[in-house]
């Protein structure tokens, strides 16, 4: 049985689709299944069990012999939440408990970290583990992901296989439920559909033009390809970047979204809110050499192709992956 935490969410539900497509149906889905808006993410999937997040650890301790692999994707991801206790409980302590059971019972584990751990990029975007203790995340969410990464790296005992993946800016199908935390592509699509234009934050740094802020946008299908690669291949344990490896501007993203809708390029620039202006990332780009050196060879989808697929095959027809 394969465990997927965060299974009703964006990335977790896409992973279920891929596992089903590869013939894996003995899946245990873990999440908060009380949220009605998430049900369409998993209602048509094939699986064995649904277990609420609050009940999973007890189940896992008692039934670990049934589990062959754990994808720990679930987390509290709201970057605007500043209650550290929430992140300590859901992102740090819960993850430690899963790690410890996987270690004791010899179960492979892949977990989601985040590029939010890099903060403003003062130390670059290299996934060299010796640098992790120096990183300065910008919010409690990033802190929680970095805290777990740091804890993992000092453990003398670990699962037989483990990888932590620093997800960069992920976009793609099955994020309808995410509200304000959905990708810029999703929000841009909805703005363009209703108003014929997309709003972007104005640059407040002279070295970047408006819309010229750069991020590493990675299509969720590429991310799932990497997760499946780790499921099928034994590579070195450790913490790895997971982005496209190529930074692109927000102007590029908005242009691709409007073109996918067959609309003229119309972008309005608005001030970045003052309360987040000093914590706003102007550049992120995953250095992907470490994963590639482990044998991952599949090219990552270009921003143009990823947005076109997302908009035309999912957002316009309101379909799920």
Could you report the per-residue pLDDT of 284-319, keeping only the tens digit for each?
Answer: 999 999 999 999 999 999 999 999 999 999 999 999
Q: Give residue 80's pLDDT.
A: 67
CATH topology match: 2-170+217-245+285-301 vs 175-214+247-283+308-315:
no
Conformation bin of residue 245: beta by default, left when phi > 0, alpha when psi is -120 to 50: left
CA 181 from chain centre, in angstroms, equals 11
Could you read off the pLDDT of 58-116 as tens digits, one per residue? 999 999 999 999 999 998 777 667 778 888 788 999 999 999 999 999 999 999 999 99
Q: Of the candidates 83, 72, 92, which has an alpha carbon nearest to the alpha carbon of residue 31?
A: 72
Q: Distances in Å between the alpha carbon of 88 and those of 85, 92, 114, 144, 146?
A: 5, 5, 15, 6, 11
Q: What does the block give as tokens for 42?
A: 């998993």
Is a pLDDT exceeding 80 seen at residue 215? Answer: yes
Catalytic residue among 178, 199, 246, 279: 178
- Is 141 tagged catalytic? yes
What is the chain's mean pLDDT, rounded?
Answer: 95
- Active-site residue among 94, 111, 118, 141? 141
Please indicate whether residue 298 is annotated as part of the active site.
Answer: no
Contact criterion met (CB below 8 Å) for 95 and 73:
no
How do residues 133-147 score in pLDDT, each as one tens digit?
999 999 999 999 999
The pLDDT of 28-49, averaged and rounded, is 95
Q: What is the pLDDT of residues 167-189, one digit of tens each?
A: 999 999 999 999 988 999 999 99
Taking domain 175-214+247-283+308-315, whether its CATH number is 3.90.25.10 is answered by yes
Domain boundaries defined on the chain: 2-170+217-245+285-301, 175-214+247-283+308-315
Q: Which of 139, 93, 86, 149 is nearest to 116 (CA)?
A: 139
Q: How many other β-carbons are positioned within 10 Å of the β-carbon of residue 181?
A: 14
pTM of the model: 0.96
Output the CATH code of domain 2-170+217-245+285-301. 3.40.50.720
Band of pLDDT at residue 255, cut at 50, 70 and 90 = very high
Choice between 76 and 208, residue whose per-residue pLDDT is larger: 208
Q: What is the pLDDT of residue 279?
A: 82
Residue 16 has pLDDT above 70, yes or no: yes
């Amino acid at each position: 049985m394969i465990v997927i935490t965060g299974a009703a969410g964006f990335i977790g539900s896409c992973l279920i689709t891929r596992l089903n497509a590869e013939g894996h149906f003995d899946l245990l889905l873990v999440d908060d299944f009380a949220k009605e808006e998430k049900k369409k993410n998993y209602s048509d999937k094939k699986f064995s069990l649904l277990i609420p997040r609050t009940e999973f650890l007890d189940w896992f301790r008692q039934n670990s012999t049934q589990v062959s692999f754990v994808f720990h994707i679930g987390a509290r991801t709201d970057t605007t939440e500043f209650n550290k206790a929430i992140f300590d409980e859901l992102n740090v302590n819960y993850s430690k408990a899963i790690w410890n059971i996987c270690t004791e019972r010899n179960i492979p584990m892949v977990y989601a970290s985040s590029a939010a751990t890099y903060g403003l990029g003062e130390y670059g975007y290299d996934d060299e583990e010796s640098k992790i203790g120096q990183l300065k995340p910008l919010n409690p969410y990033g802190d929680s992901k970095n805290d777990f990464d740091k804890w993992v790296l000092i453990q003398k005992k670990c699962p037989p296989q483990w990888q932590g993946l620093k997800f960069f800016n992920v976009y793609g199908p099955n994020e309808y439920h995410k509200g304000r935390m959905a990708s810029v592509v999703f929000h841009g699509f909805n703005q363009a559909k209703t108003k014929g234009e997309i709003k972007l934050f104005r640059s407040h740094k002279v070295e970047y033009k408006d819309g010229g802020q750069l991020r590493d946008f990675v299509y969720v299908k590429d991310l799932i390809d990497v997760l499946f690669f780790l499921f099928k291949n034994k590579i070195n344990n450790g913490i790895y970047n997971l982005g496209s490896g190529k930074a692109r501007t927000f102007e590029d993203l908005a242009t691709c979204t409007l073109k996918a809708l067959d609309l003229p390029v119309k972008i309005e620039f608005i001030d970045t809110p003052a309360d987040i202006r000093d914590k706003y990332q102007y550049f992120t780009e995953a250095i992907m050499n470490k994963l590639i050196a482990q044998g991952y060879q599949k090219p990552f989808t270009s921003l143009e192709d990823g947005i076109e697929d997302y908009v035309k095959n999912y957002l316009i027809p309101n379909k799920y992956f």
